[in-house]
Structures are given as structure tokens and as C-alpha cells.
């Protein structure tokens, strides 16, 4: 997250939506008293300080920032975040979590404890539920079906980050990773600077294996609202995973919402 009183903007960092790249680029424009939490070297150093002082973290929500700033100041700032096609985003989390486990392997003692008790070590990265799930899952399908995946903050629906409890978008602009070049240009125009957007924290590619009906049901359970709010096309398999007899109705409803846009004054590219 970034809060910039100097440039009068707030950036909400949604998990696995190019947030590190965006914050790294934005940080080059920040001045004294601007707050960046995570992503940059300085931001990583200050994470504990801001968590203690402001109760804000790298992935704090729009609701958190609005509560801190207050209604009037929130409305006077340019507020924005980026989202991603929900299934692709979760696939990226799976790849990222597996990469963390591979780069920080369990030692012999930890392996023995895991085999005997099923307990992962309390150290990073194995304390994170997504890493535990990825290590237990040979395929993305298995990762989706593993309950530990959904206990990880990185798998939370994106609307939790950018909307209120009723699903109303709180930020002025919602960009999309799929159109990041165009949307980053919009951010630069709005904030009146020109800074290239590099590529940071990229997850490795994952083979797009077929998903089981059970996996699609789980994805629908957790991400249907993301598809609706942010205007993504609902995959046919997810429509079929819906309530019996309600698939056509749901598809028509999602299509209508996507055609109308978000409403509530929010801009989605």
C-alpha cells in the first residue's frame, strides 16, 4: 500500500496483481512523509513500524485506508488498485508458492517432522498456508481443492480489497493486469508523471491443466463476486458448476453486469 499526501493518492495493493511492480514505479515519485508499505527496500524495512503505528500493512484494504484518512480526505485523494482474472490470479499464487518452497527447501529434520506429524515448520515460507497447500498439491486442481489454500490471505477475493462489505467499489479507478500498459498510462496521466513500469516479483508459468468439477465449484464459491463486480467473463465450466437449473440465469446476469460496468462512479479499464 502507498499513501501519498504529497501527490494526493492511495494505491491499494491486491495480492498477485502486479502490485510490487506498480509500487516500485510509484516509489520513484514519492517525497517526504509519503508512506510505502512493502515492495521496495525501504518499504520492507518499515512494514513493522507502520503496522504498529497505523495498523496498515502491505496488503491493507481500501476500507482500512479510508478509515484512517477519513471520508473527506479519502474523497479528495485519487484512489486506485489493480485486479486480475480470478482464476489466473490464483494460478499465479500457486506458482509463486511453489517457487518459494523450492527456493527455501525443508531440511532433513523438518522433512522428518512433517512426515511423522503432518506439521510444517513455523518459519517462512512454510508458515504460509498457500505454501503448505502448494507443497501438498502436484497440480493446480489439487491446490484449488485444498482447504489450506483458502485460509491464505493471498487467495482472498479481490473485492475484499477494493470494496465495502456490500461489494460497492471504494476506489476511483480499478485497473486490470490484462490491460496494464493502458491502465498504467492512465495512472501516469492522472498523477502527472512519466515512469516506466518494470516487472517485479513475477511468478513462473504453470501448465494450464484441466480442472475438475469440484475445483470449479470451489472457484465459483469464492470468486463469483469478483467476476461480477470487475466485469470478467464467467468461464463456461464455472457457469455449469452453479446451482442446478440456474446456469443460464447466472450467465445472463453476469453478462448484463459486465455490459453496464461497475457503477458507483468507479472507472474500470
pLDDT at 207 over 70: no
Q: Which of 7-16, 178-187, 224-233, 257-266 has the lowest mean pLDDT?
A: 257-266
Cell of 72: 473527506
255 or 106, which is more confident: 106
pLDDT band at 201 (very low <50, low <70, confident <90, very high): low
Q: Where are the domains of the chain?
A: 2-84+158-191, 89-153, 213-268
Quote the pLDDT of residue 63.
98
Region 179-206 average pLDDT:
85
pLDDT at 261 over 60: no
Residue among 238, 243, 248 nearest 216 (CA):
238
Tens digit of each residue's pLDDT (9 = 90 or more) over 116-130: 999 999 999 999 999
pTM of the model as a whole: 0.86
Cis peptide before 103 (omega within 30 of 0): no
Quote the pLDDT of residue 157.
98
pLDDT at 97 over 60: yes
Region 178-200 average pLDDT:
92
Region 90-100 average pLDDT:
97
- Are the CB atoms for 258 and 233 separated by under 8 Å? yes
206 or 157, which is more confident: 157
Q: Which of 4-13, 83-92, 148-157, 245-254 has the lowest mean pLDDT?
A: 245-254
Quote the pLDDT of residue 255.
52
pLDDT at 252 over 50: no
- For a pLDDT cut of 70, what percent of the chain falls above it? 87
Tens digit of each residue's pLDDT (9 = 90 or more) over 42-79: 888 888 888 888 889 999 999 999 999 999 999 999 99
Quote the pLDDT of residue 49.
84
Region 238-255 average pLDDT:
64
What average pLDDT is seen over the chain?
Answer: 89
Quote the pLDDT of residue 205.
59
- Are the CB atoms for 148 and 132 separated by under 8 Å? yes
Tens digit of each residue's pLDDT (9 = 90 or more) over 150-177: 999 999 999 999 999 999 999 999 999 9
Quote the pLDDT of residue 224.
98
pLDDT at 260 over 80: no
Amino acid at each position: 500500500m502507498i499513501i501519498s499526501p504529497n501527490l494526493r493518492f492511495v494505491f491499494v495493493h491486491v495480492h498477485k496483481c502486479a502490485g510490487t511492480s506498480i509500487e516500485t514505479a510509484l516509489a520513484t515519485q514519492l517525497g517526504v512523509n509519503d508512506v510505502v508499505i512493502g515492495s521496495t527496500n525501504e518499504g520492507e524495512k518499515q512494514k513493522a513500524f507502520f503496522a504498529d503505528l497505523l495498523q496498515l500493512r502491505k496488503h491493507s484494504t481500501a476500507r482500512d485506508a479510508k478509515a484512517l484518512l477519513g471520508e473527506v480526505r479519502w474523497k479528495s485523494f485519487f484512489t486506485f488498485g489493480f485486479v486480475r482474472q480470478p482464476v489466473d490470479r490464483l494460478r499465479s499464487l500457486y506458482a509463486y508458492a511453489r517457487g518459494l518452497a523450492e527456493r527455501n527447501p525443508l531440511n532433513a529434520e523438518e522433512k522428518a517432522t512433517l512426515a511423522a506429524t503432518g506439521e510444517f515448520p513455523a518459519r517462512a515460507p512454510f508458515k504460509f498456508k498457500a505454501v503448505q497447500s502448494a507443497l501438498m498439491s502436484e497440480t493446480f486442481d489439487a491446490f484449488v481443492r485444498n482447504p489450506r489454500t483458502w485460509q491464505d490471505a493471498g487467495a482472498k477475493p479481490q473485492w475484499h480489497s477494493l470494496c465495502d462489505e456490500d461489494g460497492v467499489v471504494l476506489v476511483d479507478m480499478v485497473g486490470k493486469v490484462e490491460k496494464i500498459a493502458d491502465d498504467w498510462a492512465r495512472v501516469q496521466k492522472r498523477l502527472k508523471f512519466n515512469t516506466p513500469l518494470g516487472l517485479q516479483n513475477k511468478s513462473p508459468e504453470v501448465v494450464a491443466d484441466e480442472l475438475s468439477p469440484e475445483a470449479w465449484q470451489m472457484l465459483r464459491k469464492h470468486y463469483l463476486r469478483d467476476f461480477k463486480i470487475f466485469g470478467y467473463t464467467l468461464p463456461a465450466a464455472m457457469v455449469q458448476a452453479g446451482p442446478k437449473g440456474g446456469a443460464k440465469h447466472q450467465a445472463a446476469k453476469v453478462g448484463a453486469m459486465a455490459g453496464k460496468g461497475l457503477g458507483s462512479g468507479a472507472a474500470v479499464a
